[in-house]
Structure 1
Amino acid sequence: MYKLSKDRRLRKNREYQFVYHNSKSYVNKLMVLHVLPRSSSHQTRIGFVTGKKIGCAVERNRCRRLMKEVYRLHQQELENGFDLVLIGRSFLKHVGYKEAEQNMLQLFRRAKVLKKKRSL
């Protein structure tokens, strides 16, 4: 239902590098979000990154899983037509799901990649 399929992910190094060099970034205490607008007919693609400053492989993988889970549950709320790279920072390893969710949604709102809420 909420699977992150291959066509919705950034997979190649050159795709990540293109986003890094041509995007606008948004930063908070836990994460950095790089946003590159594309045509609105394309699906939004995302990549998750954690650097070695976070800690050992176990901690990096936990942080990546945490970011992926928050994204998985909120991916339907995002607009189409963006390439996103989400980078975990060292404080991410000390927080739980709720705080990670709040911070990620805050970054998405600041980047204006969330769908507009329709009033009935």
Structure 2
Amino acid sequence: MKKAFRIKDNKEFQYVFKQGKSFANRQLVLYYMNKPEQNHFRIGLSVGKRIGNAVTRNQIKRYLRQAFLELEEKVKPTKDIIIIARQPTKDMNFHQIKKSLIHLLSREHLLRK
């Protein structure tokens, strides 16, 4: 995932939290908002210290980035998306995290048909 497609600034995170919509399942929380001027979606990832040590948190972030990379053509391009990992993700493998992410994105109609 290119760095231009990531949300890194705290102000942008806070803006999406306040102005966007949210949805969650047991493993992940999804915040998103529409940005019609963008031609590619952007993602922000948050994995708290309660989840585990740095190795575990970075592994979860790598899994989420890879899942978005594989779903790149399917995700609607005019969105800012923030994913927050919950406690159960520390025991999940890549395929389980990707399945959970697809569930959230499809529930909120963020995937193209």
Q: Is the 8 A contact 1:40 1:80 kept in 2?
A: no
Larger % of helix: which? 1
Secondary structure in 1 matching 2:40: coil
For 2:49, the equivalent position in structure 1 comes to 52
* Mean Cα deviation higher: 33-42 or 85-94: 33-42
Identity %: 27
Residue 42 of structure 1: which of 31, 39, 44 is its match? Answer: 39
**Structure 1 residues 43-88: Cα deviation after superposition (integer angstroms, max 9, x where no partner):** 2111111011101111111111111111111111111111000111
- How many residues of Structure 1 are paired with residues of Structure 2 in the alignment? 113
TM-score normalized by the length of structure 1: 0.88
Q: Is the 8 A contact 1:35 1:111 kept in 2?
A: no
For 2:62, the equivalent position in structure 1 comes to 65
Residue 88 of structure 1: which of 85, 103, 112 is its match? Answer: 85
Question: Is residue 104 of structure 2 the alignment partner of residue 103 of structure 1?
Answer: no
Secondary structure in 1 matching 2:80: strand
Structure 2 distance, partners of 1:43, 1:91, is 30
For 1:79, the equivalent position in structure 2 comes to 76
Root-mean-square deviation (CA), in Å? 1.2
Runs ≥4 residues deviating over 2 A: none
- The aligned amino acid for 1:77 is K
Matches within 5 A, 1:108-119: 108-116=105-113
Q: CA deviation at 1:41?
A: 4.7
TM-score normalized by the length of structure 2: 0.93
Distance 1:114 1:50, change over 3 A: same
- The aligned amino acid for 1:51 is G
